[in-house]
Structure 1
Amino acid sequence: MPKYDVAISFAGEDRPVAKQLAASLVLTGLNVFYDEYEQADLWGKDLYTHLSKVYKDESKYCLMLISEHYAKKQWTNHERKAAQARAFAESSEYILPLRLDDSEIEGVLGTTGYLDIRQFPVEKIVESLAIKVRAYNKAHGIVFETVRVQDVFRKEKIQVRDDGDFRTTCPACHSEQTLDEAKILQEDAETVYTCKNGCQRLVVVSPRGKTKWPAMPDRPAWKEDGAGPGLGFVGYGVGDYFIRNVGDLLFKTDLMARAVLLPASPAALMKK
């Protein structure tokens, strides 16, 4: 199975666009190859060989940012050839062109379907890519298991009974509810809790390593002093998972004298 949902190929001059797209894709729950997220992994590697493997073998799709700069760069030319080899081998729409201007790119036919960032907002581009990835997963029989908050805590030897030990409040309807009252669904690798009244997402559980969160600081799994995280904070690392809670999340078991607070993650649902 490919390591990445999307690999972004871009020229350095177009990094601001690539960075915005990468962050939005990550917040949608996709696993993205974007060089700034991979600095430690890339350190010391033969980049010519490694990047060829990423763009040819390790991604479900290649998002190619087409521009006058892309057409002129040696590294983007290398990435393009690797991606085109994959597309040719599979005879499928592996390369997803995103036009930043009207430049022509060798090997990318004018008849190839594309999106134009001058016509579509980033949110629409990200939504379209997410639909592509989900269709790929369905076609290839890729199924992800549901991992509840209770499962995450139990794996860390924290004795909770079930999702009923966790309580939060919906910011939209102000309805207080336990997580076993909330609706639950699976979006690829992410387990999503939504308000029992259907208002909005409340909590998202994401596997660590599946998604490389932008600017994710190291935080304790929970806090008892009530001090909230900063505005850019998007979740808590608990064992092998990240928990993103849009409202304060309290948990208490029969063995605990008082509830423990996971303060709201202000940027948990940033894409909304």
Structure 2
Amino acid sequence: MPAYDVVISFAGEDRAVAESIASNLVTRGINVFYDEYEKANLWGKDLYVHLTKIYRDDSKFCLMVISEDYVKKQWTNHERKAAQARAFNENREYILPLRLDDAEIDGILGTTGYIDYRNTSVDHIIDLLTEKVIQYNKENGIAYKIVKAETVFQQAIDFKGNSAFRDSDMNTECPACCTQQKLSEATLSLDGDDTIYTCKNGCQPLVVISRPGIVAWPGRGVRLQDYVIRNVREITIKTESMGMPMLIPASKAALMKMRSSR
């Protein structure tokens, strides 16, 4: 399965557009390749080789931000050629052109469907990209499953013979109704790849468990190996074998994830 849902190819002059799209995709739970999110991963790599693989092999879609500046740059042309090699071998729409102006791009035919940034809101672009990813997942049998908080802790922490945390050992509070509750009492559901713990009274999400991708989402919860836990209020963890309870601080961005209709 590709490592990314969407890779973004853009000229440096168009970074503001790319960054706005990338950050909004992240809030939808879309795993996006955007260079600013990958600094540590890119450090020291042969970028010519690595980016060829990223844009040719490692994503479900390539969002190509087309502009006059895009045409002029060596790196964007390299990314474009890698993406076009992938598109040539697949009988589907891998390259998704987003036009900032009327620049002509080698290999992108005038008959290719595109979105015009000049008359399309960022929110609508994000909706369309999310819909593309969801449809790809359905067509390719990519299904997600609920991942409990207790499972994340069991995978991330060596309990050295002590009892592992269970959802019934984790307590939090709903900001809406102020009800204290164990995570085992909350309602579990899936939103794409995210597991949602909702208040047992149905008020609102309390905890979101997400896959952050290759790098963690800065400032958006607690990273535990392959997952990020975002909680609205602090979580208190206490088992019989623990002398003092453990606290997971609330994440200010816990509710940044927008709910799309699926």
Quick one: distance in 1 between partners of 2:206 and 2:145?
19
In 2 relative to 1, CA 128–202 (structure 1 residues): closer, same or farther, beyond 3 Å?
farther
SS of 2:119 mapped into structure 1: coil
Quick one: distance in 1 between partners of 2:198 and 2:125?
24
1:245 aligns with 2:231: yes
Does the 8 A contact of 2:153 with 2:165 survive in 1? no
State the match for 2:175 in structure 1. 171
Does the 8 A contact of 2:29 with 2:257 survive in 1? no
Does the 8 A contact of 1:31 with 1:212 survive in 2? no
How many Å apart are 1:64 and its aligned residue? 0.9
State the match for 2:186 in structure 1. 182
Quick one: distance in 2 between partners of 1:119 and 1:27?
23
SS of 1:108 mapped into structure 2: coil
In 2 relative to 1, CA 161–52 (structure 1 residues): closer, same or farther, beyond 3 Å?
closer
Moved beyond 4 Å, runs of 4+:
none
Render the CA deviation track for 1:83-103: whole Å, top value 9, x for unaligned: 122112112011112222333
TM-score w.r.t. structure 1 length? 0.82
In 2 relative to 1, CA 263–161 (structure 1 residues): closer, same or farther, beyond 3 Å?
closer
State the match for 2:23 in structure 1. 23
SS of 1:146 mapped into structure 2: coil
Render the CA deviation track for 1:202-243: whole Å, top value 9, x for unaligned: 2122245x25334x2xxxxxxxxxxxxxxxx31012344321
Matches within 5 A, 1:82-93: 82-93=82-93
Quick one: distance in 2 between partners of 1:63 and 1:42?
20
Quick one: distance in 2 between partners of 1:240 and 1:32?
16
**Structure 1 counterpart of 2:195, from 188, 191, 194:** 191
How many Å apart are 1:264 and its aligned residue? 1.1
Identity %: 57
In 2 relative to 1, CA 101–175 (structure 1 residues): closer, same or farther, beyond 3 Å?
farther
State the match for 1:12 in structure 2. 12
Does the 8 A contact of 2:221 with 2:230 survive in 1? yes
Quick one: distance in 1 between partners of 2:127 and 2:170?
31
State the match for 2:138 in structure 1. 138
Render the CA deviation track for 1:231-262: whole Å, top value 9, x for unaligned: xx310123443211122222222334554322
Quick one: distance in 2 between partners of 1:200 and 1:127?
22
Render the CA deviation track for 1:7-39: whole Å, top value 9, x for unaligned: 100001011221222222223222221122222
Render the CA deviation track for 1:63-90: whole Å, top value 9, x for unaligned: 1111221122222122112212211211
SS of 2:5 mapped into structure 1: strand
Which 5+ residue runs of structure 2 have no aligned equivalent? Answer: none
Does the 8 A contact of 1:55 with 1:79 survive in 2? yes
Render the CA deviation track for 1:51-73: whole Å, top value 9, x for unaligned: 12211111110011112211222
SS of 2:75 mapped into structure 1: helix
Matches within 5 A, 1:46-195: 46-155=46-155, 156=157, 157=159, 159-160=163-164, 162-195=166-199
State the match for 2:215 in structure 1. 212
SS of 2:253 mapped into structure 1: coil
SS of 2:98 mapped into structure 1: strand
In 2 relative to 1, CA 124–195 (structure 1 residues): closer, same or farther, beyond 3 Å?
farther
Does the 8 A contact of 1:7 with 1:32 survive in 2? yes
In 2 relative to 1, CA 161–5 (structure 1 residues): closer, same or farther, beyond 3 Å?
same
SS of 1:63 mapped into structure 2: strand
Count of residues in correspondence between the two structures: 254
In 2 relative to 1, CA 213–113 (structure 1 residues): closer, same or farther, beyond 3 Å?
farther
Matches within 5 A, 1:222-237: 233-237=219-223
In 2 relative to 1, CA 159–3 (structure 1 residues): closer, same or farther, beyond 3 Å?
same
